[in-house]
A and B are shown apart, each in its own frame.
Chain A
Amino acid sequence: MEVGGRLRRAVRFFQENPLSWVGLILLIGLGGVALLAPYLSPYDPKEVVGRPFQKPSPEHPLGTNDIGQDILSELLYGARTSLLIGFTAAAIAILLGTLVGVVAGYAGGWVDAALMRLVDVVLVIPFLPLMILLAAYLGPGLINIIGVIAALIWARPARVIRSQVLSLKHSAYIEAAEALGAGFGRVLFRHVLPGVLPLALAQFILAASSSILIESSLAFLGLGDPLRKSWGTILYYAQARGAFLTGAWLWWVLPPGLLITLSVLGFALTGYALERLIQPQLARHGGPQPPRTRSQR
């Protein structure tokens, strides 16, 4: 299909699916906040700028935390940490997942069997307890958190990509390339890989949505990077100082959780939309699939 046709179809798709717009707008808005945090924040989030435990006031629209930092500034800068971790962990996971899925699907045989066993193993272990265990041993830190999340969420995308490769494998253009004598590596990288890239992009967006949610849980349990507060870390301190037992939950607990929810939602809606947008090309049987919820991502 030529590029103009694709673009027209994408535009029509977004016109017909208003929820996809919601997803995109959320992402652009939150991404903008993260980029512009230094210009939007009234204070330096690490600076003690007032008395602790203040109620919202014109100087501090969302009050101050337990050591007198401005909560609004913390939230705006927190967008950077949360989105950065979500993006990076998802990118690594999808790189790994695509590689495994493409090799397993195209190679077949024992390579496929072995890789898929590994996928099954990763999927059956409850992810959060294992992440807590790993994070506790490795210690807090941005790199460790990203690594731990990526190491455990690549498996499901790998399976999705593999099934796509299986259906591509017997398509005319791949068989033609093989018949013309193209080697394993050439077919893999020149033909199979480009064929799954749109799907990998959709998987990436969905993985980012899971990563942000998982990071918030880890940070909430005190395993986040202490030097870079994410939304989860803010909630960890709010919980540790009993903010939800006082009126402070309205400005200290509610906003970070809403931001987590909105960004997870934004990525999820955009991911579903992308998946459905490329589904006609996949020529899948059985019609559109239901959106995969977080226990299935």
Chain B
Amino acid sequence: MFWTAKLGQYLLVLLIILAINFFLPRAMPGSPLRFLAGEDVGFLPPETIQELLAKNGLDKPLPQQFWLYLKNLLKGDLGYSYQMKRPVLEVLWERLPWTLLLTGTSLILATIIGVVVGTLAAWRRGRRFDAISLTTFILLDSTPSFWLGMILIAVFAVNAKLLPIFGAQTPWVTLTGWAYIADILKHLILPVTTLTLTTISGTFMIMRYSMLQTLGADYITTARSKGLPERVVLYRHAMRNALLPVATVFMLNLGFVVSGATVVETVFSYPGLGRLLFEAVLNRDYPLLQGAFLLITLSVLAANVVADLLYPLLDPRVRSSR
């Protein structure tokens, strides 16, 4: 019952995303061909226009067009980027690994730091460490990530010259082995720092709160009165139980990090999908824009499904109640 409901919900999201992508170019005033082939479509030879019309079924009724759209998608045909003069899928494939690297690293780091600092803050409730971390994360939660990125570039890359200013690797040089990995890591530091700092707050707040509640529970008092060392009580008894709500925040952060990556990649000219989205808007490259949106959204959806599958493993109570 639970799984059919969940599955149905994800299918519905999928359908809505596909529908948005399909209807947007067709709902706008003017010929949809303008969005599928570019503003200068009028200058194309008539045969090419005919071919484009036929391929997208623009001479047929809407339901048939939608069917054709789905069939093309299944074949991996996401259209043709008229600015890059390449198939959209090819471009997306090149960009996806960079976004996965950036968002994945940031999400993992933000979760770990949020959990650790949140635990410590709850343990030292009302003391200086708690006050400082709480203030810091409330402030960071209000900071626009692109601006934080610009400031970090100005301070650490331009003024201190410690790290590269933009990109994912040093251009015009071919590195191999460890030098290659080191180069990629060096380029990753600032974007990951930016994205992590603006993502930690969610995990921190929930962890601190959840830990405060757990620390007040009876079994913690029991563990303490048994004379167990504070560290054992904190990590083995309290932290494990307090972790559960973090899983929910992790799901929320997933979509959030992807949104954040869009602006952070733009600031750092990082060659991921988010930057691609920006370039596509700048160049009015609608097929590319739609393709990037589709892939980003599908990735988030897929990650949600995986997280949903893993959640019962984490919480036995959820397992039995379903």
Contact = CB atoms under 8 A, between A and B. Distances in A.
B266 interface: yes
A130 B20 contact: yes
A249 B154 contact: yes
A126 B281 contact: no
A284 interface: no
A256 B150 CA distance: 12
Contacts of A261: 139, 142-144, 147
Interface string A120-159: 1101111111101110110000000000000000000000
B259 A128 contact: yes
Interface in B198-257: 199, 201-202, 205-206, 208-209, 213, 249, 252-253, 255-256
Given A128-B263, A290-B206, A294-B256, A253 B147 contact: yes
A296 B205 CA distance: 11
Interface string A87-109: 00000000000000000000000
Contacts of A117: 9, 12
A129 B209 contact: no
Contacts of B213: 286-287
Interface in A280-297: 286-287, 289-296
B28 interface: yes
A245 B158 contact: yes
A125 B297 contact: yes
Contact of A124 (B158, B209, B266, B304): B304
B16 interface: yes
B169 interface: no
A235 B296 CA distance: 25
B277 A257 contact: no
Given A136-B281, A235-B147, A129 B263 contact: no
Interface string B12-48: 1100110010001100100000010000000000000
A223 interface: yes
A contact patch SS:
helix
Contact of B138 (A213, A220, A291): A291
B141 A293 contact: yes
B141 A294 contact: yes
B31 to A, nearest CB: 14
Contacts of B137: 293
B88 interface: no
Contacts of B192: none
Contact of A253 (B17, B25, B150, B255): B150
B262 A129 contact: yes
A265 interface: yes
Interface stretch (B49-57, B73-81, B178-186, B287-295): B287-295
A132 B139 contact: no
Interface in A247-296: 249, 253-254, 256-257, 260-262, 264-265, 268-269, 286-287, 289-296
Contact of A129 (B146, B147, B249, B296): B296
A253 B139 CA distance: 18
A265 B12 CA distance: 36
A290 B28 CA distance: 43
A222 interface: yes
B150 A235 contact: yes
A256 B144 CA distance: 11
A220 B144 contact: yes
A50 B56 CA distance: 52
B153 interface: yes
Nearest to B259: A128
B255 A125 contact: yes
A260 B259 contact: no
Given A126-B258, A244-B150, A295 B202 contact: yes
B146 A217 contact: yes
A292 B258 CA distance: 19
Given A121-B16, A261-B139, A126 B147 contact: no
B300 interface: yes
Interface in B124-175: 137-139, 141-148, 150-151, 153-154, 158, 165
18 contacts: A117-B12, A126-B297, A128-B258, A129-B259, A133-B293, A137-B28, A221-B278, A221-B281, A235-B147, A246-B158, A260-B147, A268-B138, A290-B206, A290-B208, A293-B201, A294-B141, A296-B249, A296-B252
Given A123-B255, A257-B144, 11 more contacts: A125-B300, A128-B258, A128-B259, A129-B297, A137-B25, A220-B263, A257-B151, A261-B143, A264-B143, A295-B199, A295-B202
